[in-house]
């Protein structure tokens, strides 16, 4: 497994692509209101990305039909935008990718629509807090498996479970590169496998289920729900390892 080590100027190109992702997510957050349709939000995001001189990298990727993954309520990831109009109390996840000058950006947020339940607030907080906890604890020399274990323990301690069979990933000149970074420890030894080094750039993305971690892919071939069919949440940032620590690239 060859994990790329990026030069400072390459990291700046990745930062530029990711900054557009961050801006798009903030635009979507500000427009997450009852009555907005998922297709309207998708079109708004695509227009913004194009206006910044970038391309929406998810559109056509592996056959995905839209620019934004809009994952509504029980859908945890990869939701396809529809004509559905947001309603008070919904929970919606947005996952966005960009390509700028051949470099890729990727990040995700989950947002409540209007007033949401305390349970849904805790569900969203788990994915966000697990992500930031992981980022704060990354240091060079630790192994990716240790990072996966750290994320898993945080999620379990919060009373939730990480979605299986989907993972974070490297990013650079392609939207998905080595390594794969699950939100749980695969195998029994966190001290195995490749180490985190300066110059690595990757996406961390905790995907949270309430009770059952097994994924179910719906009939459209994209929407992923949990086998428990309860609501989920998802947060993601692209980070670069600079001077021994993780720096978030995907902020507006």
| Model confidence pLDDT, tens digit, residues 197-213 | 999 999 999 999 999 99
CA 77 to chain centre: 9
pLDDT above 70 (res 126): yes
Q: What was the pLDDT predicted at 61?
A: 94
Per-residue pLDDT of 47-62, as tens digits, reads: 999 999 999 999 999 9
The pLDDT of 159-182, averaged and rounded, is 98
- Cβ–Cβ contacts within 10 Å for residue 100, how many? 22
Give the CA dihedral 191, 195, 196, 199, nearest 10 degrees.
180
**How large a percentage of the chain has pLDDT more than 70?**
100
**Alpha-carbon distance 250 to 34, whole Å?**
27
Q: What was the pLDDT predicted at 174?
A: 97
| Helix, strand, or coil (residue 182) | strand
Domains of the chain: 8-248 (3.90.230.10)
Per-residue pLDDT of 79-103, as tens digits, reads: 999 999 999 999 999 999 999 999 9
Q: What was the pLDDT predicted at 1?
A: 62
Residue 123 in tokens: 């569900």
Q: What was the pLDDT predicted at 243?
A: 97
The pLDDT of 116-136, averaged and rounded, is 98
Average pLDDT, the chain: 97
Confidence of residue 37 (pLDDT cuts 50, 70, 90): very high
164 and 184 in contact (C-beta within 8 Å)? yes
User: What pTM was estimated for this model as a whole?
Assistant: 0.97
Q: What was the pLDDT predicted at 100?
A: 98
Residue 56, beta-bridge partner list: 98
């Amino acid at each position: 497994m060859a994990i790329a080590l990026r030069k400072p100027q390459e990291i700046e190109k990745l930062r530029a692509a990711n900054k557009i992702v961050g801006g798009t997510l903030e635009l979507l957050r500000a427009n997450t209101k009852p009555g907005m349709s998922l297709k309207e939000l998708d079109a708004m995001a695509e227009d913004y990305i194009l206006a910044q001189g970038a391309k929406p990298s998810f559109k056509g990727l592996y056959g995905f039909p839209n620019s934004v993954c809009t994952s509504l309520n029980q859908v945890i990831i990869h939701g396809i935008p529809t004509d559905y109009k947001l309603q008070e109390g919904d929970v919606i996840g947005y996952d966005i990718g960009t390509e700028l000058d051949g470099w890729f950006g990727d990040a995700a947020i989950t947002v409540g629509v209007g007033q949401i339940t305390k349970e849904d607030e805790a569900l969203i907080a788990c994915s966000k807090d697990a992500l930031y906890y992981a980022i704060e604890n990354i240091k060079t020399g630790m192994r990716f498996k240790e990072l996966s274990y750290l994320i898993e323990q945080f999620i379990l301690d919060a009373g939730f479970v990480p979605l299986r069979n989907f993972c974070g990933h490297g990013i650079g000149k392609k939207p998905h590169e080595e390594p794969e970074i699950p939100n749980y420890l695969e195998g029994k030894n966190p001290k195995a496998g490749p180490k985190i080094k300066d110059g690595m750039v990757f996406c961390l993305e905790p995907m949270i289920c309430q009770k059952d971690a097994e994924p179910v892919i719906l009939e459209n071939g994209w929407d992923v729900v949990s086998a428990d069919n309860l609501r989920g949440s998802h947060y993601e940032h692209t980070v670069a390892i600079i001077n021994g620590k993780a720096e978030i690239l995907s902020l507006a």
